[in-house]
């Protein structure tokens, strides 16, 4: 099995879970910035990296959940 084996519905369900995690990481990142965490702090950098990776995954799942005739790839 690989990503091409997923149904659009499966990709959508996974995307909904990933979306919640993405929103949490975004809120955490903004709170850290409001609290003036140094931009070089290792934990802050890990949160930023995690947000970016989860965002990329969320976008990929979104496209897998779309009707192929409605999305240009």
pLDDT in tens, 3-60: 888 999 999 999 999 999 999 999 999 999 999 999 999 999 999 999 999 999 999 9
pLDDT at 69 over 80: no
**Number of structural domains the chain divides into:** 1
Enter the pTM of the model. Answer: 0.86
Are the CB atoms for 15 and 65 separated by under 8 Å?
yes
**Structural domain boundaries, residue 14:** 7-66
Alpha-carbon span 6 to 25, nearest angstrom: 26
Alpha-carbon span 64 to 10, nearest angstrom: 9
Alpha-carbon span 15 to 41, nearest angstrom: 29
Q: How far from 72 is each of 25, 36, 37, 57, 64, CA to CA, in Å?
A: 29, 41, 40, 18, 12
| pLDDT band, residue 73 (cuts 50/70/90) | low
């Amino acid at each position: 099995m690989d990503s091409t084996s997923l149904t659009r519905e499966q990709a959508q369900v996974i995307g909904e879970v990933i979306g919640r995690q993405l929103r949490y990481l975004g809120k955490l990142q903004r709170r850290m910035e409001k609290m003036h965490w140094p931009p070089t702090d290792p934990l802050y950098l890990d949160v930023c990296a995690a947000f970016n990776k989860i965002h990329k995954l969320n976008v990929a799942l979104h496209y897998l959940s779309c009707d192929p005739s409605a999305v240009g790839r």
